[in-house]
Structure 1
């Protein structure tokens, strides 16, 4: 969605967050506000936190192949 590979305008549903901090990347999204732990641990809110914590070398990949491959030293 970030690289417009699907026809879903991500910023319409999830606003962009603040800029780069320390070793993180520029493409951050605002975490969704949740009032229940059931929703907090569902896909959308939890994947935003995961995305925002990705290393810049992965999140700022120029294409899908580079994103999937990632750097050889990256471990989750």
Structure 2
């Protein structure tokens, strides 16, 4: 993590993503199969303190050559 200013840190790096899935929909005769794939990707995120050392917000962006994703979250630590 790299502090940017008071209460804000950035983080990121590479990751490996492994995917395999089968999908069957009730009431449908269709079936889908997602083949095994191993992909290299990258992510970057930010962690923002909410003024209380036990509460924070986070946001991430993930990217591979074939897909991307965005996530947000809130954390409250219980002492």
Normalising to structure 1: TM-score of the pair? 0.27
Q: Could you say which structure has the larger radius of gyration?
A: 2
Greater fraction of residues in strand: 2
Higher helix share: 1
